[in-house]
Amino acid sequence: MEHFQATMEYKGCDRLNFVLDISQNLHCYDFQPDAAAVVEHGKKAAIKNGLVHPGTLKAGSFDYEFYGHQQIQNAGMVLTEYGYIQRSEESFYYDCSQALIKPEM
């Protein structure tokens, strides 16, 4: 449910037909729901990037939550009330609404 709510907030969704399309296209949005996921993401990224090595003193005192937030923001994710979210590369299928068409200049 949080993934759905975060997507609606991210898209500024206020039309029922678009709500229905979003509910069928949640796979189009990458989502990090809570602090535990951010900490785990920060830990994996810090190890992968060679900043810490498991079992060392530095690994025990490293701020994984801060690093996770930085990595997520650097990846282009946006913080909503429900967690971090961003649009993925997956195709969005419109069944109930239409894609916004930008006017030509």
Q: Tell me if 92 is assigned to some domain.
A: no
CB atoms within 10 A of CB 52: 18
Q: Tell me if 22 is assigned to some domain.
A: yes
> Is the four-CA dihedral 22, 27, 30, 35 of positive or negative sign?
positive
pLDDT one-digit tens code per residue, 75-97: 888 888 888 899 999 998 888 88
Q: Tell me if 97 is assigned to some domain.
A: no
- pTM, two decimals, is 0.67
Count of domains forming the chain = 1
Domain span at residue 75 reads 2-87
Which residue positions in the chain have pLDDT lower than 70?
Answer: 100-105
CB 47 within 8 A of CB 54: yes
